[in-house]
Structure 1
Amino acid sequence: MFAGEDQLMLMLIVGGGTLFVTLVLGFALVGGDNASANTKRRLANLSHGHAPVAPKAGQRNSARIDDRQSSIKVLDTLARKLIPKPAELKARLEKTGKKLTTAEYALICLVTMAVVIVVMRFVYDLTWLLSIPVGLTSGLILPHWTVGFMGARRVNKFMKHFPEAIELMVRSLRAGIPISEAIATVANDAPEPIATEFKRVSDTVKLGKSVEDGLWKVAKRIDLPDFKFLIIAISIQRETGGNLAETLAGLANMLRKRRQIKLKIKAMSSEARASAWIIGSLPFIMFFLLWLANDEYVMTLINDPRGIYLIGAGLTMIASGVGVMAKMVRFEI
């Protein structure tokens, strides 16, 4: 049997883990809608309709090796064999803009696990039965969250300045500059991370590839429908002709209006999102305050087996409510 402090810590860890798993499952089940899937499907159909434009599978798009490896060959071999979906992990790492390989990411996860296990065992004096699960969970979740946060932040920063980058291309095209030089102008004058991505496109063109090939490589890293609109517009103009500057100007105007609508929806739904945060965190805050005021009163809920079922039911209902509110304030533009 655990002591009172160990039982409290166990329930906090198990309760937090249960809430996290339930939230993840809830967001996975209720998140998004058919509009997003339909948009991606239409973009895929359009891209397949211009097969010569998209890069072919297995084709090397540059003179350098795309599949970078770390300096530890054994770690690279283990990472390739043990990671279930290395391609998806590589795409997530590339989205951050950092030169981080899958093997290095696996090493970070292992180090995080070891550090958390040591801290929980020898600093907080938890038993090995608690320290090992907490360490394993932290090593898997913390790096995953960090990579996702860095990738989302970089993509949002890209989209913030993307309409201005397209308008810069429009001004260059109206001045009589070809599309390849217009992309080089964006690479030199646009802010990060747009400058870095368009610099890669410019380098790809200098190596003898087409503009579409370089743009599709960036689309794999960014993975945004708005960026694929740009590629499709350029592809259609190359095949059918027309005024590319006017087409891109209309695209920039559409993207700016979409962003304005998203910001307006975010402002209008801020009250609901704040309510979700407050309602979701209030039970944990009250539990902590009651434990500080009268720990024996709170421990009755922990020590009684019926209290464990009540805690589980409460966490499930909180997770369900937060998931429903998140679905209500999520829109696809």
Structure 2
Amino acid sequence: MVELLFIGIAGFTTVILILLIFSFLSKPPGKEARERMEQYLVETELAEQREMLEIVTVENQEEPPDMNDDDWLKENRKDKNQNIKIFLANMGKILTPKGMAYTLSEKLLRADVPLKANEFVAIQFLVVMLLLIFSLGVLKSLPLGIILSIVAYTAPLMWLGMLHKKRAAMFNSQILDTLTMIANGLKAGYSFLQALDMVAKESPNPMAKELKQVIKENSLGVNLEESLIDLNKRVNSEDWDLVTTVVLIQRQVGGNLAEILEKIGATIRQRMKIKGDIQTKTAQAKISGLMVGLLPIALATMIYLINPAFMSKLFTFKRGWFRGWYVVVLGLIWELIGLYAIMMIVDIEV
């Protein structure tokens, strides 16, 4: 059985590689359009740098320009690993449905990972196939191969979620300072776009990177309202969604935007205070729920280390249609349900 699965997986991988070779040898779609757009972006960026520089010395002209926050896009197009990226992209196109590609693209964008959805799926697929081939061909263990494959598939998705949460937390912590600087800039006579440019130069990442993206899109002819909406989709922040809504309404009906932003800042500050109080009061319940959920697993592991024969009956017991490992699976399912219920109870939205 294991040998047949090994042959099947190896054959499937071979077919995928053959399709990729033909796809790799063909001309990538839209290559000429990308080259024209890339040339236009480079020319626009150089023009902006000339306007910002007041004095240019010979030494500065010989040095390469400083990296800004969006240069990784061009760098990824021109780096030495371009062939590898084309290979992964072509593989991902074969393996990724359109709906899944769109959802995964949003996750990668929010996590600020410089990979396309097709490339990400291709890397997942290669890792899963390698682990399956290794488990079946070398270790001769199908259960271990399945477990490793599940881990290899889910771990990158969990990693994306962690990156997104970390980046969102950093972005939310910078919103109050951003609103204060924008309001002060408006009071000093700046336009809203000039105030955004000032904040982008003074703020740290990720706020600076996102605002620079808005300014660059506006310089390329994208409507400011659309750029702000796209920014809100990228960061996925409730507080910034409130700021975006207020700015869009003000641009339609008018009003004192500086005063409005100050009031919004006070509201967000109060929300953050309430969130902090809730997190402090629910921290004990979250830790208790996590400990209760992990206790049976830790206890079973300790018993197995002390007396393996005693615990092995859960996996070797047979009586008719019943198997001992059914109890293990059922217990794990109820453990996950209970842990999820506890986390939902202590997860209070403000």
TM over 0.5: yes
Letter of the 2:298 counterpart: I
Q: Deviations over 1:106-142 (max 9, x none)?
A: 23213432454466568xx743422432343123211
Higher-Rg structure is 2
Q: Deviations over 1:66-125 (max 9, x none)?
A: 9x9874445434423431321111111111123211232123213432454466568xx7
Q: Deviations over 1:255-298 (max 9, x none)?
A: 12112211211111111111111111111111111111111222
Map of 1:33 onto structure 2: none
Contact 2:95 2:121 in 1 (8 A): no
Map of 1:278 onto structure 2: 291
The 3 A distance-change label for structure 1 pair 191 and 145 is same
Map of 2:121 onto structure 1: 106
Map of 2:315 onto structure 1: 302
Q: Superposition pairs for residues 40-55 of structure 1, below 5 Å? A: none
The 3 A distance-change label for structure 1 pair 202 and 315 is same
Q: Deviations over 1:293-328 (max 9, x none)?
A: 111222223221353233233223222221211111
Letter of the 2:154 counterpart: I
Map of 1:136 onto structure 2: 149
Contact 1:201 1:215 in 2 (8 A): yes
Map of 1:269 onto structure 2: 282
The 3 A distance-change label for structure 1 pair 304 and 155 is same
Q: From 335, 339, 344, give the equivalent of 1:318.
A: 335
Return 93-102 or 310-319, whichever deviates more. 310-319
Map of 1:237 onto structure 2: 250
Separation in 1, partners of 2:305, 2:88: 46
Separation in 2, partners of 1:116, 1:73: 23
The 3 A distance-change label for structure 1 pair 136 and 261 is same
TM-score (norm 2): 0.70
**In the alignment, does 2:108 pair up with 1:93?**
yes
Return 199-208 or 320-329, whichever deviates more. 199-208
Contact 1:166 1:248 in 2 (8 A): yes
Percent identity between the two aligned chains: 24
Q: Deviations over 1:202-239 (max 9, x none)?
A: 22222343432221221221122322222221122122
The number of residues matched between the two structures is 271
Separation in 2, partners of 1:139, 1:299: 26
Map of 1:172 onto structure 2: 185
Separation in 1, partners of 2:90, 2:311: 50
**In the alignment, does 2:96 pair up with 1:83?**
yes
The 3 A distance-change label for structure 1 pair 115 and 265 is farther
Q: From 204, 209, 212, give the equivalent of 1:196.
A: 209
The 3 A distance-change label for structure 1 pair 197 and 243 is same
Structure 2, gaps ≥5 residues long: 2-36, 43-72
TM-score (norm 1): 0.73
Letter of the 2:217 counterpart: T
Contact 2:135 2:142 in 1 (8 A): no
Contact 1:117 1:134 in 2 (8 A): no
Letter of the 1:265 counterpart: I
Separation in 2, partners of 1:312, 1:82: 30
Letter of the 1:318 counterpart: E
Deviation at 1:188, TM superposition (A): 0.7
Structure 1, gaps ≥5 residues long: 2-59
Separation in 1, partners of 2:192, 2:176: 16
Q: From 257, 265, 270, give the equivalent of 2:270.
A: 257
Map of 1:329 onto structure 2: 346
Separation in 2, partners of 1:87, 1:204: 21
Separation in 2, partners of 1:183, 1:134: 49
Letter of the 1:83 counterpart: T
